[in-house]
A = this chain, B = another copy of it.
Amino acid sequence: MAAKKNEKDLTQKEKAALIDIKIDELGQELVKEIEAGQNPHLDIPIRGSGNVFYDEKAKQIMLGDKIAKRYLFNVAHSRRFMQTLLVASYVKKDLLANNLTATLRDLYYAKKHTIAGTKEDTIDEQKESDGAIVDLEVSLETFRERLHLRAEPKGRMAGTLKVKDRVRDKVDTIDLERMGSGGWAVPSIVEQIEFVDSEIEYVLVAEKNAIFDRLNEDDYWKKNKCLLMTTAGQAARGARRLLQRISAELKVPIYCLTDSDPYGWYIYSTMKYGSMALAHESERLGCPEMKFLGMSTSDIEHYDLSSVTIKAKEVDIKRAQEMKAYDWFKTKEWQREINLFLEKKLKAEIQALSSKNLQYISKTYLPEKIKSQDFLP
């Protein structure tokens, strides 16, 4: 039976069937309570900052074990209770049963209606159904992609790797070596993707489209047998999950390349450790093995970039001070990096390397950093 297999070996259909069973079980529990004359309730892990901690061993920002009980017959609970069940019913009957996916916005439109005989709407604003979706995710110990809910996709890839992707019954094998100047767009759900013919020795994930374009034009991924990805800013869920899966399944190092500034560190730390707001997702979206290649504050001096730096603003300084206090930045290497930034008060963009020459990044900077394994943890 499906449940006996290793989670990662399940087919898409088996994964969907498992969620379907979980939703059924949830419903049966509620029916039992109703038949026993009890007040039906849901157990919802608490997601506030009081139940979030940093697990140093797993290198993940995690949810603690505090649980809230949400009752149907409780004026403060009943609306959200009903919304959570609306979400569960949509996922089961509209999405899983038809093998379709939808966005959070689709779900909102589909389940928003005026309750018969009242002037009350099931859902007033989308943030209510969004909250109910997360409630269902954490109650079922799953994540929204498994509920067939899509997020906004972002990011592009190219490299010495083929992937198999499935859209319902159609299977495509995509050769990431032959994506021209565009690259393959990273989808919002990547659970169905299989990695085939991998020859990659590492993944280089760049914050910026401009860096992807530069390195793709320089044939960087071919010359260095790697996979190149850009997250085009803060990484979307699809990109994060894909990096996590590549790290876990292909067991290759993942190097991250951002600007040298607190926003770059934040993009990196979210991909690596997860975030406080999505602490319940770190296990599936975090990539604890990721390493920070650069740019670092010490790169500015080492690569003689002082004429193309940007003065840090008050908000950067404040952000750096906050980050310095985060448990996941408490390693001696990051404390040194943040202290150096606070002392110099200088930011640098990756494109600052273009002041030397356009191909300096692919011919000198990256090879040097990777050869000397000069990374931050």
Contact = CB atoms under 8 A, between A and B. Distances in A.
A187 interface: yes
Contacts of A308: 109, 112
Contacts of A166: 180-181
The complex is assembled from copies of this chain, and their number is 2
Interface in A155-172: 156, 163, 165-168, 170, 172
A105 B208 CA distance: 12
Interface in A177-230: 178-189, 192-193, 209-210, 213-214, 216-217, 219
Contacts of A14: none
A312 interface: no
Given A106-B354, A209-B152, A307-B113, A165 B187 contact: no
Contacts of A167: 180-181, 216-217, 219
Contacts of A331: none
Contacts of A94: 357-358
Contacts of A183: 184-185, 187
A180 B188 contact: no
Contacts of A172: 178-180
Interface string A42-81: 0000000000000000000000000000000000000000
A29 to B, nearest CB: 28
A21 interface: no
Contact of A101 (B100, B174, B213, B307): B213
A280 B376 CA distance: 47
A289 interface: no
Given A217-B101, A308-B112, A106 B182 contact: no
B213 A185 contact: no
A150 interface: yes
A85 interface: no
B181 A187 contact: yes
B174 A181 contact: no
A109 B209 contact: no
A210 B106 contact: yes
* Best-buried of A94, A179, A216, A352 by chain B (most CB within 10 Å): A179
A121 B112 CA distance: 58
B358 A106 contact: yes
A156, A167, A182, most chain B CB atoms within 10 A:
A182
A110 interface: yes
A217 B170 CA distance: 10
Interface residues of A, number: 57
A38 B247 CA distance: 65
Nearest to A305: B109
Contact of A182 (B103, B105, B187, B351): B187
A138 interface: no
A6 interface: no
A359 interface: yes
A103 B351 contact: yes
A102 interface: yes
Contact of A163 (B114, B180, B213, B217): B180
A181 B166 CA distance: 7
A130 interface: no
16 contacts: A100-B217, A100-B359, A101-B217, A106-B351, A106-B354, A109-B308, A109-B351, A113-B307, A152-B209, A153-B156, A165-B182, A172-B178, A181-B189, A182-B185, A184-B185, A188-B213
Closest 7 CB pairs of A and B: A165-B180, A106-B354, A181-B187, A182-B187, A182-B185, A172-B178, A185-B185
